[in-house]
Amino acid sequence: MKILILGSGQVGATVAQNLAELPHHDVTVIDNNPEALRSISSKLDVQTLAGNGSSPAVMAEGGAYDTDLLLALTRNDESNLVACKLAATLFNIPNRIARVRASEYLEYRGEQAEEDSPSALEVFEVTESICPEQLVTERLIGLLNHPSALQVLKFADDKVRMLVLRAQKGGLLLDKPIHAIHEHLPADVDCQICAIYRNNKLIVPTAQTVILQGDEVFVAAATEHVPAVLRELRPLQQPTRRVMIAGGGNIGYRLAKQLESQFDIKIIEADEKRAEWLAEQLDNTLVLQSSATDESLLSGEYIDEIDVFCALTNDDETNIMSGMLAKSLGAKRVIAIVNRSSYVDLLQGNTIDIVVSPHLVTIGSILAHIRRGDVVAVHPLRGGSTEAVEVVVHGNTDTSKLVGRRIESIRWPSGCHVAAVVRGDEVFMGHKDIVLADGDHVILFVSRRRVVRELEKLIQVKMGFFG
């Protein structure tokens, strides 16, 4: 697949790195920053071109005429939208994904518009849009609603969730084999422990595997059964009530707006004008105009009574320092956004409880559009070294390597483990005797990203399916 990436910022560079690691991808990166391009070309096997990515002449020079996919990932919405329009009209690029930050582009249709009138994105012929701020906001909402989890991933229209947990003293399953989990769960509740990381080493669990304190456990369950499963691995925790947000940018505002009716929220914003705007837009949120690293402010606002402190500014260092300060002053749980991927594993689980990488969240959404076969969702895990993947199987016993076959009889690529199968409204948790049917959603834990190509081949339908 020939891919044209516009923008070599944090998002563009991270996407380029992930795509360059996969076989059969010819990647070209366009940016008007030669220094950033030199950095990318020195590390990755990709082509680079200096210039304005929304210029038709530059796009043509970058190979737009025979490109399969355009990823417009610059920091400027307008440049991304114009590039998608040019890609469709002048170069006939079939797939056009744009990074769009402004909500009006995503939602606005006009007061006089008919129901079937095109949206702003349709006018610019964007086939798919990626809004990193909204993706990160959704991830944060999941974490706030599950106080015990390090990550919360949704699959099959939220019929299944995969959670990453740290096994702690007080959990019912601690120091017991995995098969003992069914002694405590109700008869109609099931789950699948997909993987365990102990001292950063993967353990592929069996029924006899014993869970130890500190283990990082990846567990999948039907969404309605998640609370019961959580009790097995973590001691009961008080639900989140008080939330303090550092940073009133796009993510901080979106999070407060969506949750202010559910939680008691305070938001700290350093910029005076932005703080005034936030106060006008938010109904039940207390807006404080100050620095998130102001110790006297945090103490005066009873930081020791805060359930979750979210450091969501645009600056990694501010997020790290304010998160560490809040924790030292008594905040029960700290979540911080950190853009540098190399910091994520270094920081998480120490003073800062959870580190969210916007680029890893974004790359998952993009990879779901790029992967061959019917891939619905891709969630990078553990710094991108592993993935949780949702695929839909199609065809019949003649056209598919999966349909009509029991899970245990399928030769899955090494490192691929079935977590759940969703068929309509039914959820089957890793039952090896399940026979896959056309339309089934299969959720997999992939511990080795280099086998992704093998997985793509396995789920592809033979040509006879289309005849």
Residue finishing a domain among 296, 325, 355: 355
Does 310 reside within a domain? yes
Six-digit token pair at 211?
A: 């869970």
Q: Are residues 347 and 408 in the same domain?
A: no
Q: Are residues 2 and 123 in the same domain?
A: yes
Q: Are residues 377 and 281 in the same domain?
A: no
Can you give the residue range of the structural domain that contains 125?
1-129
Residue finishing a domain among 113, 129, 145: 129
* pLDDT tens-place values along the chain, 467 residues long: 899 999 998 788 888 887 887 767 889 999 999 999 999 989 888 999 999 999 999 999 999 999 999 999 998 999 999 999 999 999 999 999 999 887 777 776 655 556 666 778 888 999 988 888 888 999 999 889 887 788 888 898 889 999 888 887 777 778 888 888 877 777 788 888 888 988 888 888 888 999 888 888 999 999 988 888 887 777 666 778 999 999 999 899 999 999 999 999 999 999 999 999 999 999 999 999 999 999 999 999 999 999 999 999 999 999 999 999 999 999 999 999 988 766 666 666 567 888 888 888 888 778 777 765 577 888 888 767 788 888 888 888 888 888 899 998 988 888 888 999 999 988 988 677 889 999 899 999 988 777 777 887 888 766 444 34
Q: Are residues 310 and 400 in the same domain?
A: no
Q: Are residues 351 and 365 in the same domain?
A: no
Does 196 reside within a domain? no
Does 331 reside within a domain? yes
pTM of the model: 0.80
Does 183 reside within a domain? no
Does 334 reside within a domain? yes
Q: What CATH number does residue 416 fall under?
A: 3.30.70.1450
Does 396 reside within a domain? yes
Q: Are residues 283 and 260 in the same domain?
A: yes
Q: Are residues 372 and 350 in the same domain?
A: no
Q: Are residues 4 and 123 in the same domain?
A: yes
Please tell me the total count of domains within the chain. Answer: 3
Q: Are residues 3 and 119 in the same domain?
A: yes
Residue finishing a domain among 339, 355, 371: 355
Q: Are residues 263 and 284 in the same domain?
A: yes
